[in-house]
A and B are shown apart, each in its own frame.
Chain A
Amino acid sequence: MTPVAILMAEDDKEDQLLANLALKRSKLTNPFLCVDNGQKCIDYLNRLSPYDDLEKYPDPGLIILDLNMPVKDGMSTLKEIKSSDKFNHIPVIILTTSNEEEEVIKGYNEGADSFITKPLSLNKLITIMEELGNYWFSIVEQHHE
């Protein structure tokens, strides 16, 4: 069984790198793909070029969205995903830098499945990834089966 692919929309290359590192260190083997804004995330889901290569870009089983992104921000992207019959089954986890109550509430109202505050240290990020693996991925994978 191939673990589900994780699609991360995050404009910050360093955060992409850190997330990738954390994923690897948490011993998760899920394919990890990054796009650097919300529009690309939508394009990816719709298989628009260059995301039409199914080999290179597998269907994501989980989406991690950063809130602050150019072109299309996280909240709009979330709205689009959750209002689409094709994609609204994909769990979306919102990534924030602060645990601002209003944004969290707004995110949940738009259909976000979970929130992760970007942790201070890599170790914490690893712990979070492990938790994701234990909880979300199992749900998602069960769903896939």
Chain B
Amino acid sequence: MDLLTSFFDGSYMPHGHCYLWRPEILWTHVLSDILIAASYFSIPVLLFLIKKKRTDWKFKKVFLLFSLFIFLCGVTHLLSIFTIWHGIYGIHGVAKIATAVVSVLSAVVLFKLIPNILSIPSVEQIETANRLVAEKEIEKSRLQAERESERLFKLSLNAAPVGLLAIGKRGVIRIVNDEINEIFGFQNSELVDMEVSSLFVESNFFSQEVIDRLTSEQGPNFRYISPSIIYAKKKNGDLVPVEVRAHGETYLGEQIIFMSVSDQSYKVQAEEVRSYLSEIVSSCDDAIIGKELDGTVTHWNPAAETLYGYDESEMVGESILKIVPQELHQQVFDFLNELKSGKKIKHIETIRVKKDGSLVNVMLTISPVKDFDGKVIGASVIARDITENINAKKALERQNRALERSNKELESFAFIASHDLKEPLRKIISFGQLIKEEVEAKLEPDTKDYLQYMISATVRMQSLLQSLLTYSRVTSRAKPFENVALNQVIKTVLTDLELKIEETEADIQVVELPEILAEPSQMYQLFQNLISNSLKYRKSDETPRIKIYSEQVNIHQVTVFVEDNGIGFEQKYSEQIFEMFKRLHGRSEYEGTGVGLAICRKIVEHHGGTIMATSSPGEGTVIELHFNMNE
């Protein structure tokens, strides 16, 4: 206990005595120690701050120990100053012991850490390392890019719309693209290692010699382009027209042939179609002419040559006006203007001048020729010599006119005849009757009869002429058509025939009939004649039955039937009954002029229809009237 008390006793001689209190010694020590202590205290603080910033630093323990060691050194220096005036050498010693312990610990730990510390690379080493890393990165991305571009290259190789081949020694195929497989009908890499010559039909243009030259010559000297279509053999044996181009390159000391193969099927087909069409155009009997919108001739086929006398070389490049008469030039410009709007000009009859100056009648059809965008860029003209047609047409017109004239003459003859011939007849009848009246009493019975026969015959002739007049009037006095309700017409007819119907006790049925476009008075005449006929040619022992009905054939045609149960006639007369003055019965049996049905036929035909009769003796008659509804 005494020992401990004396150890910490501060009554030892102050150290100043050792300096003999000489201020120069004393203050040298004091000031130095103060500076040392201040520095030593600042170092741990700085270390702490550095450590805080550099979180990546390892060796935490060493820093801690080192800071403590420096701090304790500072403490011993402070205590050294204190001992100059107070002899606390025990406390000073304890501080030194603590410093010693921490120093030893630091040394030991530092010693242990030597290999670790040595392993920390130097700045230079780090820079070198960093450079190496960067270089590696660059290399890596370069390779990546190379791989990408190789992929892109391969993709474009396969996407290329032409077949591509690389051929090595002896014509052995090394690389193909997808299009090659497509053209030749092979799978993925079946073609690799095959000989290229086996893919083509040997021809003048593509022979083994060509392949040999391609593969033997060095460098990019030899270029080959197939001059026209050559044929490639497909896997299944079919032939494909192709165009081939090739050239050689030396690669790594080896001669490689790069070859492109393009399928020309469409071209061949187009060519076939073109030559087919061209053959049609050349062999066509009609002149076919191509021209631009300013009228410059671009095409001139052999028929055009025959028609106009100019050959192709005389017309192509020339204006079409060369074959157009002066007065028709404007018409040609008008046509060209119409064509520009895309219009087609059909069947125009016009006149052209031949090389020899003679004129030719032609029929033209001019069509616009359009480019892919639909823009009119020219015209095609099809021309036909219609001189013969025109002559034929003229002849026909002449004949028609003659026929019309003779028809008119005939009609006016019929009209005049019936009209004017009636006059003298009327006189004969009138004066005949006068004679008869005045001399009747003095005449022999026979003579009286002769006179009567004469008068009766004249009366008959009068009625024949009246019929003829009616017949000729069907067309000579034609009036415009209007809508006619046939039921209404028949109703009127039946009213007018009332007496006759009552007399014969006829049973007449009229079913719903259509309305047609017709001349009402003629329809009246028609049905009056037909119904009168049915009443006239009735069976003597049977009630006459007449049925009028219709049947819609289609939307344009209707058939009206007039059916009776009369005496009928043999079917062989079914045409004759419609002839003028044709009678199947003697006048004594059935009176009439034989014009009634002829008038009926003329009326029906005047309306664009037809009339026919079906009958057999004793079985009645059916008259069929075929009418057009809308005309």
Residues of A within 8 A of B (CB): 12, 14-15, 18, 21, 97-98, 118-123, 125
Contact = CB atoms under 8 A, between A and B. Distances in A.
A97 B422 contact: yes
B463 to A, nearest CB: 10
Those 6 A-B pairs whose CB atoms lie nearest each other, nearest first = A122-B430, A14-B427, A122-B433, A121-B433, A120-B429, A18-B430
Given A14-B427, A120-B459, A120-B462, A98 B433 contact: no
Nearest to A102: B477
Q: Interface residues of B toward A: which range? A: 10 to 19
B434 A97 contact: no
B426 A118 contact: yes
B583 interface: no
Contacts of A120: 426, 429-430, 459, 462
A120 B426 CA distance: 5
Contacts of A122: 430, 433-434
A12 B430 CA distance: 14
Contacts of A118: 426
Given A21-B434, A98-B469, A121 B419 contact: no
A122 B426 CA distance: 9
A121 B430 contact: yes
Contacts of A125: 430
Contacts of B434: 21, 122
Contacts of B427: 14-15, 18
Among B426, B433, B469: residue with most chain A CB under 10 A: B426
A97 B422 CA distance: 8
B423 interface: yes
A130 B143 CA distance: 139
Contacts of A21: 434
Contacts of A123: 433
A21 B427 CA distance: 13
Interface in B387-434: 419, 422-423, 426-427, 429-431, 433-434
A12 B423 CA distance: 10
B419 A97 contact: yes
A118 B459 CA distance: 14
A15 B426 CA distance: 10
Interface string B424-446: 00110111011000000000000
A68 to B, nearest CB: 9
A96 B459 CA distance: 18
Contact of B429 (A12, A97, A98, A121): A121
